[in-house]
Each structure stands twice: as structure tokens, then as C-alpha cells.
Amino acid sequence: MILGSLVQPTSYAANGAGWANESLLQQAVYDTLVHADPDGKIVPWLATEWSWNDAKTVLTLKLRTDVTFTDGTTFDATAAAQNLVRFRDGTAPNKSFLAAMTDAKAVDAATVQITLKQPDPALLTYLTQAPGLMESPKHFGAADEKTNPIGTGPYVLDTAKTVVGSSYVYTANPSYFAKDQQHWKNLTIKVISTAATEVNAIKGGQIDGMNVIDATTVAQIKGAGYRVVDHELDWSGFAIFDRAGKLVPALKEPKVRQAINYAVDRAGLLKAAAQGNGTTTSSVFPTYSPGYDQSVDQLYTYDPAKAKQLLAEAGFPNFSMTLPQVSGFGQVQNDLLKQYLGAVGITVKFVTVPINNIITDLLAGKYPAANFQLQQDPTAWQEANFLLTTNATFNPFKVADPTVDGLVKTIQTGSEADAATATKDLNKYVTEQAFMAPYYRVKGFWAQNDKISAKPQAGNAIPYLYSITPAKG
């Protein structure tokens, strides 16, 4: 099987590994402690079962006892604990995922215990990703550690045939413990970083599957005889950061933020800015979240008259905002936003910001809001800490909300049922209070020929390797 990848590995040392678009490259050679099925449900893998203490600060995992690393070393709880601590203290882009972990230790050869300083409802999800990658401790610090991975995974990197940065060649691991999940004798992952190169590779039959880089090429890809599987990962919309009204006093008023939601034509934006590749939404939560609610998801309709009424009621019938734009990106969306808001009394002025500065400037609180594309996370805890809580990454003005804090605390410490209810309540609250003005969930695409079948992965840009199987028939 030959797959395409937009990126090369950040590092093949497990404590420096990236994820998302490079997950296939890592999963080829490494197993994670647990797996996530395509819907995001946590299922056993290297760990066969797990349990929490009552305070949800100690996670105990029972491990398989029939697994070896490709250098012949036995995989056990000591190796698992060493990898976890090393990842937390390493250089990986997502090392902060284990920031709450104070210790990981082997209770016995088949039992590892993770201790947290506070509950982290996303920990098991993290252990399906880069923090859960298991590398042979004998290889820690080796001269070739970043380029020659030693894991327990289904494949072994053939360093002689691999061209770093271009083509990664793997052969089946002969001692792999899960032969029924080892679908290919040989695997090659080619780095393809432009849409034109991808289309040419597909037309030439050079790859079996890859994420589509540019949605406008879908027709060409289908014309080449490939099937296209769609998935929705991010939401695109008007991200309102200044909810305390520091730069724009009007944005402190919920009715003003609601007015913005009513002022935009989501269907029009989806058609004009994304060629219809997505689904309109009023919510920042994904459809696979326990907090998903159809009525909340489609709460705001296009109603300029109602927008004007709400602005008048809030005491801000007219005001202005200065927003950032990146040259060459999102121009249609920016033009339409300016038109929609201008029609109800909100004047928008755009200033151009270099692409390398846009995230830094937003997180520094230089702008009150922005047309932007932001992730939807697999768990409500991740979503809240990314976007909604006082110290969330994309809450640059550190706007506090007691209702949000209370619901997130229940998500963090409550029972599974209580957390699910709190997630629904959180979704409803932040949507009704118009924390943001999402337009649509962005549809992405995975292209595959008739040799393979892949299932999209909730919360990830590309399918997971173990969800790519030989096509039936």
C-alpha cells in the first residue's frame, strides 16, 4: 500500500513526535496504549483495561504481556511509565497534554499507574495519540533515534530504502502481536505537499490514498476513478474574543453578539466561500460530542431585521470594529462579513496582517474578533480548555464566566452521565450567549482507489492507519 502524507515526521523519537497529519507515519511503527475508534470511542490496545480512583486523579492500566519491541525488548509497565514521563518532559508539539501528570510508575510488570495533580477527562484520548506512543527504552537517546524508530508497531521502517523528507518505506513487523490488524506486507508513505503534485500522483496511480489538500480538486480526483470520503473537523466563522468589551465595548453585550449571529447568511457563506463543502452550524461543538443538540446546532437563522432590533435593544445600533485579514486567504468570507454586518449597522475595517503573525496577534489580544477557522475537539474538556474557559488558548482577553466554570468543573470531576448533561448545558449556554458566531463546519476529503477502504477519524485530520483496510470485493 502506498499512501500520501502532507508532512514528514516531526521526529521519530516518541518524545518528540507530532500527530494530526503525521499520525500515519507514527502509527506505522508505534503502538499507543489505547486506540480510538473512528467515532472517537476509547478501546483497548496495549492496555486491555483501565480504571480511575474516586477522585479521578489516578488512572490504572492493565497491559498486554505478549508484546515486544522490534529490538527484542519486552514491552512492560516499566517501559510504559518511562515513555509517559519522557513525553511529558520532551520536545513534542503536544507535550502539554501530559502537563497534569505528576508521575507514572509500574505497579507490577503488567500494571502502570498514572497520577495527576487534577482530573483530566481527556487523558485517555491523549493516550490514543502521540503521548501514548511506546518506544523501546533501549533506544532512548540513540544517535539515530529521531530517524530510526524502535516501537512495537505493525511495521518497521526500512532506513535503507527511505528517503528522509520524501518517501518512507516500511516492512511488516514479523513479531507483531495483532496479525489480524496487519493488513499489508509493505507500506510506503510519500510526502506530497502541493495540490498539483497530489492530483498528478492520483492521475498516475502512484498512491492508493491521501487527504485531499485542496477541495477544489475533488472533481479531478473523482474523474481519475478515485472514491472520496468526506469528514468535518474544524468550524469556520466569526471568532469573538473581546467578550469583555475591552477594545469594542459593544461586544460585551450578549444581544450584540446574538445580533452578529443573526446578521450573517451561513448558507450564503458556505456556498460562496467553501463551494458548499461543509454544513452550516451555530455551535462550536462537533456532531460526535455528547453535547450535540440539533436545535442548538441550528439556533441562529439569517434575520437582519432581528439583528437590528437586538442591536437597538442593547444600545449599540451602530458601532465599528477593526479586524485582521491575511492577504490571499479568506477574502470572500471577509468581504461577505463586511457586507452582512454593514447592512445591520456594524462597520468593519480590515487591516492586513502577515500570515506568520496572525495567531500570535490574536492570542496577544490585538484584535476583538476575526474570521477564523478553529478546531472541534474529541472531548468537551478539550473544547472548553481550547476555547471557552478563562485560561483557554483562544480566550486571549481571559474573559471569565461563572456558568462556564461551573459546567466545566462538572465535566472534569462528575460522573459520565453528569458530564454528558453538563456538556449539553455548556453547548446550549455558550451558543445562546453567542460566545462565537460559527458559520459552518468545514468539510475535508480523503481520496482512495478501489484497493483500500478508510474510515474518517473523529477529531483527526486523516484516518488512522488501523482504520485503513483492504477494500472488500
pLDDT in tens, 256-279: 999 999 999 999 999 999 989 999
CB 103 within 8 A of CB 146: no
Give the residue-averaged pLDDT of 73-85: 98
Domains 2-212+449-470 and 233-442 share a fold: no
Give the residue-averaged pLDDT of 404-415: 96
Give the residue-averaged pLDDT of 179-205: 95
Would you say the C-alpha torsion 394, 399, 404, 405 has a positive or negative sign?
positive
d(CA 365, CA 383): 20
d(CA 36, CA 94): 17
Domain ranges of the chain: 2-212+449-470, 233-442
Per-residue pLDDT at 102 exceeds 90: yes
Q: Which stretches of 73-226 are DSSP H helices?
A: 77-88, 123-126, 195-203, 218-223
Q: Please report which confidence band the pLDDT of residue 461 belongs to, taking 50, 70 and 90 as the band edges.
A: confident
Give the residue-averaged pLDDT of 98-126: 97
Report residue 24 as a C-alpha cell. Answer: 500515519
**Among all chains, which residue has been given the C-alpha cell 443538540?**
293
pLDDT in tens, 50-61: 999 999 999 999
pLDDT in tens, 194-210: 999 999 999 999 999 99
DSSP codes of every residue in 58-74: EEEEEE-SS-B-TTSPB
Per-residue pLDDT at 430 exceeds 80: yes
d(CA 20, CA 349): 34
DSSP symbol at 93: T
Which of 37-41, 104-108, 144-148 has the lowest average pLDDT? Answer: 37-41
d(CA 452, CA 229): 12
Average pLDDT taken over every residue of the chain: 96
Please check whether the domain covering 2-212+449-470 is classified as CATH 3.40.190.10. Answer: yes
SS3 content of the chain, % helix, strand, coil (to 5): 35, 25, 40
**Within 13 Å and on the Cβ side, how many CA atoms surround 350?**
22
Neighbour tally for 331: CB within 10 Å:
14
* CA distance to 258, 260, 303, 309, 343, per residue, from 306 (Å): 9, 10, 5, 5, 12
**pLDDT score, position 473:** 62
d(CA 243, CA 183): 50
Give the residue-averaged pLDDT of 77-104: 96
**pLDDT score, position 328:** 76
Q: Please report which confidence band the pLDDT of residue 223 belongs to, taking 50, 70 and 90 as the band edges.
A: very high
**pLDDT score, position 330:** 86
Report residue 163 as a C-alpha cell. Answer: 528517503
CA 4, 10, 12, 17: dihedral to nearest 10 degrees?
-110
pLDDT in tens, 311-348: 999 999 999 999 999 887 789 999 999 999 999 999 99
CA angle 200–205–211, rounded 5-degree value: 65
| C-alpha of 326 from chain center | 22
d(CA 89, CA 109): 23
d(CA 403, CA 423): 12
CB 178 within 8 A of CB 27: no
**pLDDT score, position 423:** 97
| C-alpha of 206 from chain center | 28
CA 379, 381, 382, 387: dihedral to nearest 10 degrees?
120
Q: Strands of 158-301 (E only): list them.
A: 167-172, 186-191, 209-211, 227-240, 278-280
**pLDDT score, position 233:** 86
Please check whether the domain covering 233-442 is classified as CATH 3.40.50.1970. Answer: no
Highest mean pLDDT among 65-69, 94-98, 325-329, 389-393: 65-69
**pLDDT score, position 299:** 98
Enumerate the β-bridge partners of residue 352: 325
Give the residue-averaged pLDDT of 445-450: 96
d(CA 41, CA 391): 27
pLDDT in tens, 143-173: 999 999 999 999 999 999 999 999 999 999 9
**pLDDT score, position 216:** 86
pLDDT in tens, 278-297: 999 999 999 989 999 999 99
* CA distance to 326, 328, 332, 408, per residue, from 355 (Å): 6, 10, 17, 33
Question: For 78, left (φ over 0), alpha (ψ -120 to 50), or beta?
Answer: alpha
**3-state DSSP assignment of residue 285:** coil
